[in-house]
Structure 1
């Protein structure tokens, strides 16, 4: 008795990936054990990074069974700066604070844009709180209010309190705020807007704001800006045309492939029907017309769907009925189908018209055996293709699962 492997490709892939996941987890676990035993301690997180908890197996706690491993969850607090270390750090970070807070400004002596007042220095684990002696000009978030600042500028003092949770230091920065830098166009718009605001205040009782027709001796004309940008529409049109062309080509190839599969599936059925009708005493033409008529009636009654092989047979029967020679009609049938199997069938039928149909039934019976074998192989091939298409989403899901398990395991030890 021949033994067959019981797993499909998908089942085999699941088993292999499960074994691989087990091996990775064992390596991670082994790496963690070496870190504790050889390092002699548990690594602390850096200052400001929070506490770390380790799940450790400890042997030797049980006096009766010294080899017994007892699970213990050990919390390890974050590292703290030493006295000398924090003093040196607070002296060193002042230039970094200035560089960070400048934002888009070049110096603190000329500030026209918002400052970048962060609440922490993450790489050092330090927290920062800001205070301003004039929040109407610069608030504690670094927002600049320079709409009414004079051209000579205005000075504001900012104070930063920096702490690591145990030590604290203070820094003071003198900032000179100037009006925002405006282009000539922006200055003209700002002056005009200021004048419009004055007119708006005078017309508050009216149902609409009447825009002036003359400003500083110049006649004004108003246009409403476009609310949408339509320049993208031509690009979208061209892109859509290209995508439609690609879709049409893809649909043509897909329809051609489906037609070929349907022709191959129906070939064994067509040959077997010809064998049955010719064996019953009908001529080749009679058998052909009987098959075509039966198909048309079944489609009319909705008992079966449209199939390309039978549609070509119906067309061939019509050609024969209109006076075309049987040999030529069968030959054209094979060319229209375009597959090797149908070309062979058309050749057999065409030769039977020339040499007689004495050996035709025997040849069709041999062809029928071959056709059923081809149909079985095609069904097997389509099944394998369907299974292969399922592998991609399967691998993606297993990859996500592996990342969800392995990454936290690695992070727990580092």
Structure 2
């Protein structure tokens, strides 16, 4: 039974060790006893990039050397390559004209793809007039005359070191009347005329119509307002987060102070009730001593004293003592203060004798807890100082060793 319980406790660790051990053995077998014989190299698949690999060999006398070798992917036979290039040309001819009717009437952009045959064949293009046909297929025919212009397009298809070149003479014509390109050309001409006629003026008006069509001009849209809105939203989020963080830190600081002050409060209640004072009189006596201490220079009122004063005011206004003490516990919200309130309520029910003993025991435990907290805080402070000390040590070490290393180099 004990062995089974031990197995259950360490089951995850044992399974992890077993799995990684099995994987390591399988990898060792695969690398040392599996795959091709020694001296056999596996290539990448067709279409994959060339690899630069390093190989190690050993001579009969035991000397080891290394060589660097570029390993090309699997390639086809020459006849197969020619068929592949032919297929690539057929695919290109089926798509390169785009929406143009023929090679003798080019008015729109061409479709010039860079790969064919599932990426096995690469294509590169050259144009005899890049102002008309660019290498990406864009056709700029706004300035072309009515008779058109002939532009030679050269397409080179390559597979490995084998290539094939196709040349096409394309008749580029001006935009078709009524098309968007033609309308753009007309708007361009009219805008140029308006600009030329009004160069003596500070402003000029762009054309409102072109070839009978209404033209609506738009101002350039900016995203400044959008960025400003995002910046404002980010600022609001940061402010809200800062506010919540400040409240959280204040609550944490208040909680730490109350925990630190708790032993003193319990000890005061225990001492005064131990000499025979009632709970209410004890409460009043503690507040009287605090008022006298306020007259001294440098006095800082403790948080628990503020809460005791608020509780005393609630009692003076007619609230029952039991309810006032419970309100105190709810406001503070710490387990230690809830225990104290339960002891005080016990005093209201059964008298002072047992309560004094309970308060004394609570005070001793509270002081012990405070000692442990102080010890823990000291250890945490030491850990926080560890990194700066190590950094200073490294800097000092560098300052000492740098002159020595520099003298050796000289």
Mapping of residues 219-234 of structure 1, within 5 Å: 225=219, 227-228=221-222
State TM-score, norm by structure 2: 0.60
Q: Distance in 2 between matches of 1:197 and 1:322?
A: 89
Q: Using a 3 Å threshold, how does the CA distance of structure 1 residues 214 and 28 change in structure 2: closer, same or farther?
A: closer
Show CA shifts across 1:176-209 (max 9, x none): 54556898888666534422312322444x2534
- Give 1 or 2 for the bigger CA radius of gyration: 2
Q: Using a 3 Å threshold, how does the CA distance of structure 1 residues 295 and 230 change in structure 2: closer, same or farther?
A: farther
State TM-score, norm by structure 1: 0.59
Counterpart selection for 1:92 from 87, 91, 104: 87
Q: Distance in 2 between matches of 1:200 and 1:243?
A: 49
Show CA shifts across 1:382-404 (max 9, x none): x99xxxxxxxxxxxxxxxxxxxx
Q: Using a 3 Å threshold, how does the CA distance of structure 1 residues 168 and 261 change in structure 2: closer, same or farther?
A: same
Paired residue for 1:42?
Answer: 41
Find the residue that maps to 2:50 and give its secondary structure.
coil
Say yes or no: does 1:265 pair with 2:250: no
Alignment RMSD, CA only? 5.7
- Is there any run of 5+ residues in structure 1 with no aligned partner, and where? 1-16, 385-414
Mapping of residues 88-237 of structure 1, within 5 Å: 88-98=83-93, 101=96, 105=99, 109=103, 112-117=107-112, 126-149=121-144, 156-164=151-159, 166-173=161-168, 175=170, 177=172, 191-204=186-199, 206=200, 208-211=202-205, 225=219, 227-228=221-222
Q: Distance in 2 between matches of 1:182 and 1:373?
A: 97
Asked if 2 retains the 8 angstrom alpha-carbon contact of 1:328 and 1:350, the reply is no
Find the residue that maps to 1:169 and give its secondary structure.
strand
Q: Using a 3 Å threshold, how does the CA distance of structure 1 residues 209 and 24 change in structure 2: closer, same or farther?
A: farther
Q: Distance in 1 between matches of 2:31 and 2:292?
A: 75
Mapping of residues 296-315 of structure 1, within 5 Å: 301=298, 307=303, 309-315=304-310
- Is there any run of 5+ residues in structure 2 with no aligned partner, and where? 1-15, 381-410
Asked if 1 retains the 8 angstrom alpha-carbon contact of 2:190 and 2:207, the reply is no
Paired residue for 1:78?
Answer: 72
Deviation at 1:75, TM superposition (A): 1.5
Q: Distance in 1 between matches of 2:364 and 2:177?
A: 89
